[in-house]
Amino acid sequence: MNKNKRADLLENPLFKNRYRVLAVPAQAQQDNPVAKGTRHTIANLVIAAILFVVFLVGFSLADPSAAQALNDLVTQRWDSLMQRLFGPTLGPGLAEKSPWILARAGGIIGYLLLFFSVCLGLFSSMRMLNRFIHPAGMIHLHKIISLLVLVFTVFHVGGLMLDTYLRVTLFEAMVPFTTSYRPLWTGLGTIGVYMIVSIVISFYMAGRLGFKVWRTIHYLSFVMFVVTFVHGFTAGTDSTSSWMQLIYMATGFVVTFLVGIRIFNRPGRATVRRKATNRTVESGS
């Protein structure tokens, strides 16, 4: 990164005199029409998603049988696809087992990616990896991992909807605490999905939101990790396995440890302590 670009990055109005760097250079944000178009597209998608959820809730409440029929149609299409791809011998078995495998793999991989994303954010805020990775590169990596969390979460939810045993409908997947299987704990998972969507969107609209609003939204990462941890531990079928319990214990301990370091060793505290010490020394002399 040359000196001009670095100066633009440091003079960004969102992050000037802050302890971390999030956005791309200010000049690039102002002059790049593609970035503006992307923000408008994301805003339109958010509005469309909200309207779709409202329509889905109303449709399911008005005619539950029609909503179930729609879900059955999706399941039948999946069965037909598996039989066309793998033949009548392997197709039915794969159609029955593949959604459950997809749901489990998507959930576990999504949780591990969320763990890495939270740790990366904590490392970035404490400048622990600045020697090895430039802060701007760290943020872009953080964005990519957060987006992958959302992708594997979609795989997880899609697998549950295609599974013929649980028979999770689109309405139950979108509205918390409505499933027949452990509604409280699965509802926490639905809330976690909305949190990760909010965080991913905030990455791409940071320039429009402002630093304080972005930071407030981004603090949801810690809440989301706790919610996802509880959801997986209480609703996941692999939670009784020793290897999965070990993963939960290790990831929970690491995040708790890093959060503790972040709270008690904030960058501003060292400066305040140094100033207080200097004043004490000057007054004593």
Query: What is residue 256's predicted lDDT score, i.e. its pLDDT?
Result: 94
The tokens for 89 are 């011998």
**pTM for this entry:** 0.71
Q: How far, in Å, CA of 26 to CA of 142, rounded?
A: 20
Q: Which residue's structure tokens are 């033949």?
A: 87
Q: What is the DSSP letter of 24?
A: P
Report pLDDT digits (tens) over 238-272: 888 999 999 999 999 999 999 998 888 765 555 54
Q: How far, in Å, CA of 285 to CA of 278, rounded?
A: 11
The tokens for 172 are 């139950």
Query: What is residue 29's predicted lDDT score, i.e. its pLDDT?
Result: 45
List the chain residues with pLDDT less than 50. Answer: 12-31, 34, 272-273, 276-278, 280-285
Query: What is residue 13's predicted lDDT score, i.e. its pLDDT?
Result: 46
Q: How far, in Å, CA of 228 to CA of 224, rounded?
A: 6
